[in-house]
């Protein structure tokens, strides 16, 4: 059971690494994030230019699959400003997503970016749901094969599911240095502290008992490596 929960938590975490937002423009060539600064601003304070080297613009390890041995059967490797300091002020980020057979990057949204998902290996079913419209919440979804790409607009809930019987790999393009990840089920049922059960019961049309059961599950984040720092502090 614990394993299953871990897996699910891991898969839920998957949901995260996709879209790019529309950040403020840079005011100099670059402004490499200074992780050691004790000054916190919108984005990051910058390193002194004389200390900047090519390594500040460099990231390695995107060829390595992350373990999908979790309940969701998926895992995410993020390349955002919290892990690649040279991205600060430059308005781009990316990620790698690994999927076991039937692995799921569960429904999630990115508050600060749209996304292009590109399938490098395997076969995925991917889609997004619009905001509330006159005609309801429309699902736009598609089966994707190796070499296909699909677009997820900013702030909308989207997902990918490995419908093949082999591992799958995808890469995501974002337009923000820190697109942010809201895994829908984690935010609803796994917040700390929890949202009151009678509120969730009313919202999702389930009994308080079922909601309570859900809230006792573990809702792991499959983008464990992800450091969405609140502001830039700890």
Site for a second copy in 22-41 (CB under 8 A): 22-32, 34, 37, 39-41
Nearest by Cα to 97 from 181, 154, 35, 34: 181
1: contact with a second copy by CB under 8 A: no
Task: Print the binding letters for residues 170-189 with a second copy: x by CB under 8 A, - otherwise.
Answer: -x-xxxxxx-xxxxxxxxxx
Residues in 75-134 that interact with a second copy by CB under 8 A: 79, 81, 84, 86-94, 104, 106-107, 109-116, 118, 120, 125, 127, 129-134
Query: In angstroms, what is the minimal distance from the CB of 139 to a second copy?
Result: 4
Question: Is 38 flagged in the annotation as binding?
Answer: no
Q: Which residues contact 48 (CB under 8 A, 6 or more apart)?
A: none
How far is CA 148 from each of CA 32, 97, 98, 222, rounded to the nearest angstrom?
A: 33, 15, 16, 24
Contacts of 199 (CB under 8 A, 6+ apart): none
* Beta-strand pair 74-79/93-99: antiparallel
Dist CA 48 CA 60 (whole Å): 23
User: Would you say 115 is a known binding-site residue?
Assistant: yes
Q: Whose CA is closest to 186, among 208, 212, 215?
A: 215
Among 35, 101, 146, 212, binds a second copy (CB under 8 A): 146
Nearest to 98, CA basis, from 155, 9, 170, 156: 170
One residue of 67, 166, 202, 209 binding a second copy per CB under 8 A: 202
Is 18 annotated in a binding site? The answer is no
Question: Which helix (H) or strand (E) element contains residue 2?
Answer: helix 2-14
Compute the least distance from the CB of residue 193 to a second copy, in Å.
Answer: 5
134 secondary structure, DSSP code: T
Q: Does 233 bind a second copy (CB under 8 A)?
A: yes
CB of 208 to a second copy, least distance (A): 14
3 binds a second copy (CB under 8 A): no
**Which of positions 34-73 make contact with a second copy (CB under 8 A)?**
34, 37, 39-43, 45-55, 57-64, 72
91 and 122 Cβ atoms separated by less than 8 Å: no
Binding track over 151-170 against a second copy, x by CB under 8 A: xxxxxxx-x-x---------
Query: Residues within the annotated binding site?
Result: 105, 108, 110, 115, 158
Binding residues for Mn(2+): 108, 110, 115, 158
């Amino acid at each position: 059971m614990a394993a299953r929960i871990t897996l699910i938590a891991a898969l839920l975490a998957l949901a995260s690494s996709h879209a790019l937002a529309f950040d403020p423009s840079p005011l100099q060539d670059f402004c490499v994030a200074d992780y050691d600064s004790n000054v916190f601003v919108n984005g990051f304070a910058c390193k002194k230019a004389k200390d900047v080297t090519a390594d500040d613009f460099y990231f390695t390890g995107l060829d390595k699959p992350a373990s999908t041995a979790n309940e969701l059967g998926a895992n995410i490797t993020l390349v955002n400003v919290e892990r690649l300091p040279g991205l600060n002020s430059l308005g781009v980020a990316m990620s790698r997503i690994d999927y076991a057979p039937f692995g799921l990057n569960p429904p999630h949204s990115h508050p600060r970016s749209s996304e292009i998902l590109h399938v490098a290996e395997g076969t995925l079913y991917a889609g997004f749901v619009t905001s509330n419209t006159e005609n309801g919440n429309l699902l736009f979804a598609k089966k994707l094969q190796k070499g296909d790409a699909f677009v997820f607009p900013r702030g909308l809930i989207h997902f990918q599911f490995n419908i093949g019987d082999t591992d799958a790999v995808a890469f995501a393009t974002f337009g923000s240095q820190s697109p942010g990840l809201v895994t829908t089920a984690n935010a609803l049922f796994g917040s700390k502290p929890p949202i009151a059960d009678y509120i969730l019961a009313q919202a999702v049309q389930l009994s308080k008992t079922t909601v309570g059961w859900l809230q006792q599950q573990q809702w792991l984040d499959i983008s464990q490596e992800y450091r969405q720092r609140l502001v830039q502090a700890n």
